[in-house]
């Protein structure tokens, strides 16, 4: 789950991570008031969408740039009116763009140094890891590739938590000395608390800046949350903006299906995440292009299969469907009946290849062949992939 | 010998009165597994009955282990209570705890893993199908089935299988069994980013196990556990290994169902894992359809 920039700022304020002054606004009038409240003559108005590349984006009304410098509250209101309610197209949004419902007004701070800090769960050590770098403001992967010596790591004992000496060590490595070291220790401690208490899988501040007047501030942040922990994070769940998500993925999650849209033409419906990935791979190996990842889980009930078909068919690129079920515990005939009913209910017209294996598979295959539907039966995974690729080419 | 568990291993089930736990406790009993106790707090003194089986239920793992001699627990309890259930097994001094539960918060697992590090209790999972040491009866009956795998697809034999994915494990096992090759033990280590037992841990056990003659190792995108296992195998493993990695076509930055299946920052790609396996002399199956075939060829059986 992702959140907006203004929500990340709210989390920082809650936990005491120092940031520049800012307020969110939903109307031009609110934007004007926010600018007046912040004060000063250097402010920035930022369109709030999840996608990156906002600064270089273009609004569908022709207005250029989703991040703008302004000098007065009136100017903030004018700029906000050009952003709010309009779609912003960036390199990450696709041509339709994303409608901007909120703007964030912040003080534009002068910067003397840009740094980087992130916390994530390191899989190799199974412990929280802090990653810091003197090269802020740029992509950390680029820094890792070109100047890896400018990145350093501190592993945190999960039972002890981040220790004060560790925060000083990071500060020293970032060249934050004197009064800045005290600010840094406080900021890193607050950031670690944010990370743990919000069940983040990653939090990244880029850039973390030092201002000419000696302040250390988190200017931009990115959060990823652990989906498994959302049940105990109602405040984080409340930040979810479904309009920023793929509607098919939102629909799938309501039926406990795991769906991820891709850009191919062969839809896959599979039980089990590993097998679902492997099915996509074998479709590609057979010369096709997978349209999606879809794991229906261990059960695969008729209702789930039905919902899955509807979601798959809402993707206009889909030209054929491959169902691959390994019915370990479940009776394949029950699954076959579910597929037949679902195909009838949605009035399926596209080629459908079904590969069933496992418990009571012969009865399942019989159900499929006697259904009167044009279902192509396959015996192995490879056979299934070849058959759906051929069927889509022939159609 | 097999690894980790034998048909004689005595099992307790945490969450035996929940629908999921009950269903799979029944299937394990039907398979001939020694399910000797259940644990559901507040239901101590009751019994879990299935056919002629009457399994006593206890309030705590410690009581269940002491009174029945169970040395292994399988955890079916819901995610908010699963970390506590695992720690309870560690406290009771069990040899092995197999956590089937999917959806445990990663911080819970980080703390559990740190706590049980260097203790006598080994954790497998979470978010895993469990493990099976097949028996010698019809359709491998009489074996030790812990978790949710279908028992009947197995066959007693000499191939060790280790995998992060449930259904892909079944796929590999079924391919082996259909060709007449049985398994020593099949271990599902789970699809979460922080788990108790790694590919490498299991490879080391298979390497030492006299009954295991060849190995199938199934991995997927995310993390570097497959590379670590492959690097070790290249140096130390005496037995032929075939491998498969799922997720070649997965887009970067997206979690593919399993919480751990994600390519991030260019790390954890299928290409990198496949290259590490090949460099270690592991025969890599091009598609999941030929996992058994690839092993049998590499092993000189085809």
ipTM: 0.92
Q: What is the mean pLDDT of chain B?
A: 95
* Over residues B3-10, mean pLDDT: 95
DSSP structure class, residue B52: T
- Whether residues B27 and B117 share a domain: the answer is yes
Q: Is the pLDDT of residue A31 over 70?
A: yes
B258 tagged catalytic = yes
DSSP state at residue A117 = E
Beta bridge partners of B181: none
Phi, psi of A41 (to 5 degrees): -115, 5
| pLDDT recorded at residue A205 | 95
Give A167-179 pLDDT, tens digit per residue. Answer: 999 999 999 999 9
Share of chain B above pLDDT 90, in %: 92
State how far the Cα of B138 lies from the Cα of B123, in Å rounded to an integer: 30
Alpha-carbon span B302 to A219, nearest angstrom: 62
Burial of A213: CB neighbours in 10 Å, binned 0-12, 13-18, 19+? exposed
Q: Are residues B111 and B17 part of one domain?
A: yes
pLDDT in tens, B12-49: 999 999 999 999 999 999 999 999 999 999 999 999 99
Q: What is the number of domains present in chain B?
A: 2
Which of B141, B154, B258, B298 is the catalytic position? B258
**Shortest Cα distance from A103 to chain B (angstroms)?**
26
Is A141 within 8 Å of B250 when comparing Cβ atoms? no
Q: What CA–CA distance (Å, rounded) separates A205 from B30?
A: 54
**Per-residue pLDDT band at A299 (split at 50, 70, 90):** low
- Is B147 part of a structural domain of the chain? no
- CA of B164: how far to CAs of B132, B161, B194, in Å? 14, 10, 12
Q: What's the half-sphere exposure (Cβ side, CA atoms, 13 Å) at A143?
A: 18
Q: Which sign, positive or negative, has the C-alpha torsion A320, A325, A331, A332?
A: positive
Q: Is residue A215 within 8 Å of A183, Cβ to Cβ?
A: yes
The pLDDT assigned to A298 comes to: 67
pTM score: 0.93
**What Cα–Cα distance (Å) separates residue A383 from each residue in A327, B5, B138, B295?**
18, 36, 29, 20
Q: Which residue has the higher pLDDT, A249 or B79?
A: B79
Q: Which residue did the predictor score with more confidence, A148 or A230?
A: A230
User: Is residue B235 a part of any domain in this protein?
Assistant: yes
B170 domain residue, yes or no? yes
- Residue positions of A annotated with a catalytic role: 116, 204
Query: Which residue in B231, B249, B262 has the most chain A C-beta atoms within 10 A of its own C-beta, making it the best mutation to test that interface?
Result: B249
Closest-approach residue (CA) in chain B for A326: B167
CA nearest A255: which of A195, A296, A209?
A296
Determine whether the interchain pair B223/A124 forms a contact, defined as Cβ–Cβ distance below 8 Å: yes
* Element (DSSP H or E) covering residue A297: none
Question: Which residues of A, range 254-313, sit inside 8 Å of B by Cβ?
Answer: 258, 260, 262, 270-285, 290, 293, 295, 298
Cα–Cα distance list, B169 to B157, B245, B263 (Å): 16, 12, 22
As a whole number, mean pLDDT of residues A206-220 equals 95
Together in a domain, B113 and B229: no
What's B88's domain CATH number?
3.40.50.720
Q: Are residues B165 and B71 in the same domain?
A: no
Domain boundary among B83, B105, B124: B124
Query: Where is the domain boundary, B104, B124, B144?
Result: B124
Q: What is the CATH number of the domain that holds B217?
A: 3.40.50.261
Coil, strand or helix at A141: helix
Which among A159, A260, A358 is the nearest to B256, CB-wise?
A260
Residue A277 and residue B110: Cβ atoms within 8 Å? no
pLDDT tens for A33-81 read 999 999 989 999 999 998 888 989 999 999 999 999 999 999 999 999 9
Q: How far apart are CA B71 and CA A254, in angstroms?
A: 39
Question: Does the pLDDT at position A301 exceed 80?
Answer: no
Using CA atoms, how far residue A296 sits from A95, A299, A309, in Å, is 31, 7, 11
Portion 174-193 of A in contact with B at CB < 8 A: none
Task: Give B117-169 pLDDT, tens digit per residue.
Answer: 989 999 999 999 999 999 999 999 999 999 999 999 999 999 999 999 989 99
Q: How far is the C-alpha of A194 from the C-alpha of A189, rounded, in Å?
A: 9
Confidence of residue A159 (pLDDT cuts 50, 70, 90): very high
From chain A, the residues in CB contact with B194 under 8 A are 121, 123, 126
> What is the four-CA torsion angle of B22, B23, B29, B33, rounded to 10 degrees?
-90
B250 located within any domain? yes
pLDDT at position B278 is 97
8 Å CB contact of A272 and B164: no
pLDDT of B78 > 90? The answer is yes
Q: How far apart are CA A361 and CA A14, in angstroms?
A: 56
Let me know whether B113 and B51 are in one domain. yes
- CB-CB contact of B38 with B57 (8 Å): yes
B120 plus B38 within the same structural domain: yes
Collect all residues with Cβ–Cβ distance below 8 Å to A90 and sequence separation of at least 6.
Answer: A49, A51, A52, A53, A54, A56, A57, A66, A97
> Which one of A274, A281, A288, A383 makes the best mutation probe of the B interface by having the most chain B beta carbons within 10 Å?
A274
B79/chain A closest Cα distance in angstroms: 8
Please give the share of chain A, as a percent, with pLDDT higher than 70. 99
Dist. CA B135–CA B157, nearest whole Å: 9
Q: What is the mean pLDDT of residues A380-390?
A: 95
Cβ contact B150–A329 (<8 Å) = yes
Residue A16, chain B, CB below 8 Å: the answer is: no
Q: How far is A231 from chain B (nearest CA, A)?
A: 9
In the predicted model, is pLDDT for residue B266 greater than 80? no
Residue B66's pLDDT band, with cuts at 50, 70 and 90, is very high
pLDDT, residue A303, reads: 81
* Distance to chain B for A79, nearest Cα, Å: 33
C-beta atoms surrounding A65 within 10 Å: 18
Which residues, listed in sequence order, are joined to residue A322 by a DSSP beta bridge? A268, A353
CA-nearest residue to B255 within chain A is A260
Q: Which residue has the tokens 């498994």?
A: A228
Q: Is residue B1 part of a domain?
A: no
CB of A118 within 8 Å of any CB in chain B?
A: no
Pair B113, B208 in one domain? no
- Residue B174 CA to residue B152 CA, distance in Å, equals 9
B116 and B170 fall within a common domain: no
**Residue B133, in any domain of the structure:** no
pLDDT at residue B194 greater than cutoff 90 = yes
Residue A300 pLDDT: 67
The whole-angstrom separation of Cα A314 and Cα A307 is 11
Domain around B68: 10-124
Shared domain for B55 and B167, answered yes or no, is: no
The answer to whether A358 contacts B80, with C-beta atoms less than 8 Å apart, is: no
Residue B67 pLDDT > 90: yes
Give B225→chain A minimum CA distance, Å.
8
Pairwise CB contact (< 8 Å): B27 & A275: no
pLDDT at A208: 97
Contact assessment for residue A344 and residue A336, using Cβ atoms and an 8 Å cutoff: no
A39 near A103, Cβ under 8 Å? Answer: no
Answer yes or no: is B3 within a domain: no
pLDDT tens track for A84-99:
999 999 888 878 889 9
Has residue A238 got a pLDDT over 70?
Answer: yes
Last residue of a domain, one of B77, B108, B124: B124
Which one-letter DSSP state was computed for residue B152?
Answer: G
What is the DSSP code string of A159-193?
A: TT---HHHHHHHHHHTT--THHHHHHHHHHHHHHH
- Among A144, A201, A382, the residue with its CB nearest the CB of B106 is A201
Could you give the domains of chain A?
Answer: 21-107 (3.30.1490.20), 113-237 (3.30.470.20), 247-394 (3.40.50.261)
User: Which of B105, B44, B101 shows the shortest CA–CA distance to B77?
Assistant: B101
Are residues B189 and B86 part of one domain? no
Contacts of B130 (CB under 8 A, 6+ apart): B74, B98, B100, B124, B145, B146, B147, B148, B149, B188
State how far the Cα of B77 lies from the Cα of B79, in Å rounded to an integer. 7
The mean per-residue pLDDT over the stretch B216-222 comes to 96
The total of other beta-carbon atoms located within 10 Å of residue B182's CB is 16
Please tell me the distance in Å from A141's CA to the nearest CA on chain B: 6
Q: Which residues on chain A are in Cβ contact (under 8 Å) with B250?
A: 277, 280, 293
Instruction: Judge: A293–B170 Cβ closer than 8 Å, yes or no.
Output: no
As a whole number of angstroms, the distance between CA A5 and CA A9 comes to 6
Residue among A262, A273, A359 minimizing CB distance to B251: A262
Place of tokens 């707090």: B41
What is the per-residue pLDDT for B156? 97
**Residue matched to tokens 């418990």:** A359
A381 lies within 8 A of chain B by CB: yes
User: In which element (H, E) is residue A353 found?
Assistant: strand A352-358
Contact at CB, B265 and A357, closer than 8 angstroms: no
């Amino acid at each position: 789950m992702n959140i907006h920039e203004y929500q990340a700022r709210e989390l920082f304020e809650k936990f005491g991570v120092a940031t520049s002054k800012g307020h969110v606004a939903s109307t031009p009038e609110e934007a004007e008031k926010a600018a007046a409240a912040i004060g000063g003559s250097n402010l920035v108005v930022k369109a709030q969408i999840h996608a990156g590349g906002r600064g270089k984006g273009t609004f569908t009304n022709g207005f250029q740039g989703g991040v703008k410098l302004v000098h007065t509250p009136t100017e903030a209101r004018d700029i906000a009116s050009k952003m709010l309610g309009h779609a912003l197209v960036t390199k990450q949004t696709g041509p339709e763009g994303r409608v901007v419902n909120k703007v964030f007004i912040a003080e534009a701070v002068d910067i003397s140094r840009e740094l980087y800090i992130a916390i994530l769960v390191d899989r190799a050590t199974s412990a929280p890891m802090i990653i810091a770098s003197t090269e802020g403001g740029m992509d950390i992967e680029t820094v890792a590739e070109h100047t890896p010596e400018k990145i350093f790591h501190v592993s945190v004992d999960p039972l002890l938590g981040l220790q004060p000496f560790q925060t000083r060590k990071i500060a020293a490595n970032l060249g934050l000395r004197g009064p800045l070291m005290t600010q840094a220790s406080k900021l890193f401690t607050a950031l670690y608390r944010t990370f743990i208490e919000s069940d983040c899988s990653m939090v990244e501040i880029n850039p973390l800046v030092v201002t000419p007047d000696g302040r250390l501030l988190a200017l931009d942040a990115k959060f990823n949350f652990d989906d498994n922990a959302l049940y105990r994070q109602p405040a984080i769940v409340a930040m979810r903006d479904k309009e920023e998500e793929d509607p098919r993925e939102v629909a799938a999650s309501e039926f406990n299906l795991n769906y991820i849209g891709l850009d191919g033409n062969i839809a896959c419906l599979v039980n089990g995440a590993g097998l679902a990935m492997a099915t996509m791979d074998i479709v590609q190996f057979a010369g096709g292009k997978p349209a999606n990842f879809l794991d229906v889980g261990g059960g695969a009930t008729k209702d789930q299969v039905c919902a899955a078909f509807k979601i798959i068919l809402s993707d206009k690129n889909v030209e054929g469907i491959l169902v691959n079920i390994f019915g370990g515990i479940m009776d394949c005939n029950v699954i076959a009946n579910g597929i037949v009913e679902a195909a009838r209910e949605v009035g399926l017209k596209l080629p459908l290849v079904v590969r069933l294996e496992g418990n009571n598979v012969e009865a399942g295959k019989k159900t499929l062949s006697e259904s009167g539907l044009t279902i192509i039966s396959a015996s192995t995974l490879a056979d299934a992939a070849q058959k759906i690729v051929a069927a889509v080419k022939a159609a | 010998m097999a690894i980790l568990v034998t048909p004689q291993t005595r099992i307790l089930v945490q969450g035996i009165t929940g629908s999921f736990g009950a269903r799979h406790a029944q299937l394990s009993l039907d398979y001939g597994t020694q399910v000797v106790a259940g644990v559901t707090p507040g239901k101590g003194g009751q019994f879990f009955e299935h056919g002629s089986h009457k399994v006593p239920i206890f309030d705590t793992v410690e009581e269940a282990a002491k009174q029945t001699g169970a040395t292994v627990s399988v955890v079916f309890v819901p995610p908010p209570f699963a970390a506590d259930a695992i720690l309870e097994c560690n406290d009771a001094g069990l040899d092995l705890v197999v956590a089937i539960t999917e959806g445990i918060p990663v911080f819970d697992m980080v703390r559990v893993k740190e706590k049980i590090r260097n203790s006598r209790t080994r954790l497998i999972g979470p978010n895993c199908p469990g493990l099976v040491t097949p028996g010698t009866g019809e359709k491998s009956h009489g074996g030790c089935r812990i978790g949710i795998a279908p028992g009947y697809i197995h066959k007693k034999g000499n191939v060790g299988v280790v995998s992060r994915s449930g259904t892909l494990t079944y796929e590999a096992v079924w391919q082996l069994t259909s060709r007449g090759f049985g398994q020593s033990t099949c271990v599902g280590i789970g699809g979460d980013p922080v788990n108790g037992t790694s590919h490498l841990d299991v490879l080391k056990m298979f390497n030492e196990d006299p009954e295991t003659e060849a190995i199938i190792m199934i991995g997927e995108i995310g993390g570097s556990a497959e590379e670590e296992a492959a690097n070790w195998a290249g140096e130390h493993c005496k037995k032929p290994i075939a491998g498969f990695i799922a997720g070649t076509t997965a887009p970067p930055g997206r979690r593919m169902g399993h919480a751990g299946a994600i390519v991030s920052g260019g790390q954890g790609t299928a290409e990198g894992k496949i290259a590490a396996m090949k460099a270690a002399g592991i025969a890599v199956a091009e598609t999941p359809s030929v996992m058994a075939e690839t092993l049998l060829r590499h092993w000189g059986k085809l």
